[in-house]
Structure 1
């Protein structure tokens, strides 16, 4: 029913007595009435409880053959337990996934919700159960007394903000504690701010995720007997100062650990990593009071990913000698971290290295080659003065990105970098010297921008695989690369070019020859220029043209009509631009569908819908955007990761 804009189902639906499967979206339409008459129904992905006759929860009673997945929404409309019983959920033994959800902040409905959930006893064959926005203060007896649930594998409890108790009941008289969920593999507790207790025995639990709690008490309770965890995720626990002592040491098969957004966490557990030999991925983020990681990091012989982000007080990462399996190492926004861990250069399996917003790091300890290193990204490291001295030995490197490193000098021989496919240098204030760039014969993307000390570009003639070339806003550069100026351009695969913003004393744009296969072109100007480069009119394959910062230009040229393949025209930051080409020229651009005008105040006034003198030239174009009448849109050439 994707193509129909129905607000309500036809009443005749209730007469389809043999209907077995019905599928429709939750939001667009009012839920149909009298669904209980469809007694042969097998598939019904959700049911929305209403207050009107024919939409009550009792409509589920006669749907005995339902199977698979069922979500029941708006349970706040169920007034008491007796009404909830009418759904007869326990009899629907073919349902495997069940979700209960209430709506609204309902602190006054604690007793009602508790009674309703008590009598919404699900079938014991259930494999997945989700309880969302429950306002009761404790769970029903069937969740606390060992009611079957032999098949339940996944349990989610979300936004139960008034829930305090989830306790176990001792078996009578001497058999110990009942195991409530003997086969449960995944448990997610989220937004249960007042929960202070939880069961401790989950003999098959593999994944535990606890998120958005006021205290770490549920973590401590649950962890008491856990030994089978393979995945542990802890997020947004506001009063958690440390992890429970035994949580990591008892779970010998733990492979994934994530700790995120715990503002009072000061330590994990001392010397814990020696007990987590199977750990493959460790992620720690948004823990502003965490000062150091535990010792023993080097014993994690199976660790493949180490990601540390937004830990503002972190001062030390232990040595990484011995991390022979480490493939990805990323450190983001750790402004107090003075150095990277010793031994990083011996992580011979390392493939990806990312260092971002670590303002105190002055060097990167890689003095020898890392044979499998494929990607390096370094950005916003203000005190970094040089690149790793062993970079030239990383011969498998495919992507190298250096951004916003104001002190670094990129004086690098690129000889032997035959695997390099992307080189991006952005906002580097230090000296740049690209020695032996011509040996990077696999290079597909070369981008150098906002680099005020770039004086020359080496020959690009041998870079025959180049698909994107961006060289712009380099203030002392006076010419385009020779490969662009040559009448026999070797860049036969180049389809995207961004160029300009050179030495401001130049009176004209440096000459470059036609690249017949070029599809996207962005031109950066400077105040002395009053026109676009003439050769652009011969780029007849262009589908995208951006004109940026041509303050001296008042009118776009009439020859723009020759760009008959043009689909998108982007004009920005040209304060004196007033005129588009004539209407005849604009109508020659039969494929032009999008025009964007941004920070061009005079042209803005002249293109106001219906009344601007330039409006009639563009009124036929399907998409017109700008800050004057249309949504704000940033030029894509100014967006950087």
Structure 2
């Protein structure tokens, strides 16, 4: 039933109040819910006809409400003064802790917003108040911890009024603020700071500052942020530090900074805060900082060198992407990075030829991709294998000149958990003794056309996920050394290439295998069957046959014996003519056929020639059509 907001004088708790157009009322509808909470949302306030109704709501006395979203519509306001009057009269109780105002159409905010009497207010979000030309004095709020201001299209300058200073007042502004965000401030040009000896610092406890898509902001950042840990600057192309030139930013005092994310071509004056840099096209040299823990460089095509005195020893993570001409640090400087735990090199450091893995004693993750001239990974230090007991993940991809790993006496990585080497066309051999890696759970050997053999002593005994594909020089005799049939822990296996036939015909797969992916076996026309092949895999739950271009027939009886099979995927196999003549196992609950032209036509929903043979399967997906039986 439509009611006036003024009739809600006795309201104590309400979790939603929705205002909509109605007849016989100047406000709209009240929708009540059975379980009342401490949150109040008043929406579509543009429909208020008489601001006095808002006053009669008496929100000041609703002491149990802790959170007041107040929202107008996205359309332009009919009367900005009326909208200000409505907001003025919706003065909430001073006990509130969270306040959100959206699509407010007034040109400025009422006096109560920012009043220090709101001593419990901790979170404020001002969004899409497009006609306000200034911000409220929220610096006065003593408990405010998080402030987000976004899409305030009329704000060109943020000045001392933002801090809430009145004349000679010595009140510390933003005394509790920890997170501050300005998002999509299209016309914002200038940020005037109120710091001075008589006032103290502007943001004494600020830990996170985020400036996103403020394309006209050109004045400097606050100079003194003693507690700042994370600074994000994105899409602020003209932002610079006024006191900085091309080589120094001494006017900025961010001593506690741990992480800086800069994206979108911001000026070089921010570089001394370096923890993460993105999209800098004209940087040639990096400055050094002694407190960095995370350094990430991406899309810096002109960056050629690290600091002359190396990187800080506190660094735990180093990420480089698309920094082609960057010279990697010499060994003597790398040796000082004793805290480094994670290292990514992606499409960077073209001059790198030998990577000394053994130089990082605490390294946990190494990820190298697209290093065009890398030839070797060295696990040897002065002729002796280092025990890299911390290394858990090793990933090598798209390094066309990589030939081998340099080791002596086997793998010095006893706790290695995941190992991948792929798309390295000149890679010839892996170190012996991979079976000693008892901690290894995932092994991927993929697209290594010159790899002739590996794992002659067997595969790691506790491996769970295994991928061996596109290694054309691997031959059938090598497969027997792997002792696959003994790997009781193996649950997922992706296999591709000519060795598949040997594995199937000689029953070399473990019977405990649950997921099998047959991929890119382009030379095979018929999968083995009738006593060979898949039928002994009685624990198999999912089977995928993918990108086998010349495969024409599945085994006539083999799939029917897979009594645990629940999912069957046949993808990118254009020459398969039909499914097994003897039918599919009754346990099957999902069949997916994708980009297999002959199968798509034969098993099309209701109209296909053999639709009746699969119509009992509960879920069938053919290309993008899902059929639930």
* Aligned residue runs from structure 1 range 240-251, under 5 A: 240=239, 245=244, 250-251=252-253
Deviations 1:543-563 (A, max 9, x none): 111112334433322331121
Q: For residues 511 and 323 of structure 1, do their structure 2 counterparts lie closer, same or farther at Cα, with a shift above 3 Å needed?
A: farther
Note the C-alpha offset of 1:467.
1.0
Q: Is the 8 A contact 2:223 2:251 kept in 1?
A: no
Q: Following the alignment from structure 2 to structure 1, what is the Cα–Cα distance between the partners of residues 387 and 308?
A: 21
Q: For residues 223 and 42 of structure 1, do their structure 2 counterparts lie closer, same or farther at Cα, with a shift above 3 Å needed?
A: same
Q: Following the alignment from structure 2 to structure 1, what is the Cα–Cα distance between the partners of residues 17 and 418?
A: 44
Does residue 1:554 correspond to 2:552, yes or no?
yes
What does residue 262 of structure 1 align with? 264
* Aligned residue runs from structure 1 range 125-144, under 5 A: 125=118, 126-136=121-131, 138-139=133-134, 142-143=136-137
More deviation, 421-430/434-443:
434-443
What does residue 469 of structure 2 align with? 472
Q: Following the alignment from structure 1 to structure 2, what is the Cα–Cα distance between the partners of residues 25 and 360?
A: 61
More deviation, 506-515/321-330:
506-515
What does residue 604 of structure 2 align with? 608
Deviations 1:513-570 (A, max 9, x none): 2412111111232224322463311111111111123344333223311212222211
Partner of 2:300, secondary structure, is coil
Q: Is the 8 A contact 2:223 2:252 kept in 1?
A: no
Note the C-alpha offset of 1:168.
1.6
What does residue 158 of structure 1 align with? 150
Q: Following the alignment from structure 2 to structure 1, what is the Cα–Cα distance between the partners of residues 543 and 252?
A: 61
What does residue 99 of structure 2 align with? 98
Q: Following the alignment from structure 1 to structure 2, what is the Cα–Cα distance between the partners of residues 421 and 509?
A: 28
* Aligned residue runs from structure 1 range 42-121, under 5 A: 43-52=38-47, 58=54, 61-63=57-59, 64-65=61-62, 66-74=64-72, 79-87=79-87, 88-102=89-103, 112-115=105-108, 117-118=109-110, 121=113
Partner of 1:538, secondary structure, is coil
Q: Is the 8 A contact 2:593 2:621 kept in 1?
A: yes
Note the C-alpha offset of 1:331.
0.8
Partner of 1:237, secondary structure, is coil
Does residue 1:335 correspond to 2:324, yes or no?
yes
Q: Following the alignment from structure 1 to structure 2, what is the Cα–Cα distance between the partners of residues 548 and 480?
A: 25
Q: For residues 41 and 248 of structure 1, do their structure 2 counterparts lie closer, same or farther at Cα, with a shift above 3 Å needed?
A: farther
What does residue 187 of structure 1 align with? 180
Deviations 1:156-215 (A, max 9, x none): 111112211322259999738875534433321111121123341324241322111123
Q: Is the 8 A contact 1:35 1:54 kept in 2?
A: no
Note the C-alpha offset of 1:45.
4.8
Q: For residues 422 and 243 of structure 1, do their structure 2 counterparts lie closer, same or farther at Cα, with a shift above 3 Å needed?
A: farther
Q: Is the 8 A contact 2:46 2:73 kept in 1?
A: no
Q: Following the alignment from structure 2 to structure 1, what is the Cα–Cα distance between the partners of residues 165 and 576?
A: 87
What does residue 569 of structure 1 align with? 568
Deviations 1:237-265 (A, max 9, x none): 12235675397755354233323223253
Q: For residues 509 and 127 of structure 1, do their structure 2 counterparts lie closer, same or farther at Cα, with a shift above 3 Å needed?
A: closer
Deviations 1:103-129 (A, max 9, x none): 9xxxxxxxx5314x3367366422222
What does residue 215 of structure 2 align with? 214
Note the C-alpha offset of 1:18.
8.0
What does residue 392 of structure 2 align with? 398
What does residue 583 of structure 2 align with? 585
Q: For residues 340 and 610 of structure 1, do their structure 2 counterparts lie closer, same or farther at Cα, with a shift above 3 Å needed?
A: farther
Q: Following the alignment from structure 1 to structure 2, what is the Cα–Cα distance between the partners of residues 618 and 326?
A: 58
Q: Is the 8 A contact 1:507 1:528 kept in 2?
A: no
More deviation, 229-238/411-420:
411-420
User: Which of 279, 302, 321 is matched with 1:313 structurally?
Assistant: 302
Q: For residues 622 and 444 of structure 1, do their structure 2 counterparts lie closer, same or farther at Cα, with a shift above 3 Å needed?
A: same
Partner of 1:596, secondary structure, is strand
User: Which of 505, 515, 520 is matched with 2:515 structurally?
Assistant: 520
Note the C-alpha offset of 1:430.
1.1
Does residue 1:426 correspond to 2:415, yes or no?
no
Deviations 1:596-628 (A, max 9, x none): 222322112222222112322333434433436
Note the C-alpha offset of 1:315.
1.5
Note the C-alpha offset of 1:36.
9.8
Q: For residues 309 and 200 of structure 1, do their structure 2 counterparts lie closer, same or farther at Cα, with a shift above 3 Å needed?
A: same
Deviations 1:314-367 (A, max 9, x none): 222225647333222111121232434661232112211111111624235537
Q: Is the 8 A contact 2:341 2:362 kept in 1?
A: yes
TM-score, structure 1 normalization: 0.80
Q: Is the 8 A contact 1:514 1:535 kept in 2?
A: no
Deviations 1:107-157 (A, max 9, x none): xxxxx5314x336736642222211112125225x428x7x4233232211
* Aligned residue runs from structure 1 range 385-464, under 5 A: 385-388=375-378, 390=380, 392-393=385-386, 395-396=388-389, 397-413=391-407, 414-436=410-432, 437-459=434-456, 461=458, 463-464=460-461
Q: Is the 8 A contact 1:472 1:499 kept in 2?
A: yes
Q: Following the alignment from structure 1 to structure 2, what is the Cα–Cα distance between the partners of residues 589 and 166?
A: 70
Q: Following the alignment from structure 2 to structure 1, what is the Cα–Cα distance between the partners of residues 43 and 573?
A: 55
Which structure 1 segments of 5+ residues have no match?
Answer: 1-8, 104-111, 274-280, 632-641
Aligned residues: 586
Note the C-alpha offset of 1:512.
3.8
Q: Following the alignment from structure 2 to structure 1, what is the Cα–Cα distance between the partners of residues 253 and 159?
A: 23
Q: Following the alignment from structure 2 to structure 1, what is the Cα–Cα distance between the partners of residues 164 and 535?
A: 86
Which structure 2 segments of 5+ residues have no match?
Answer: 195-201
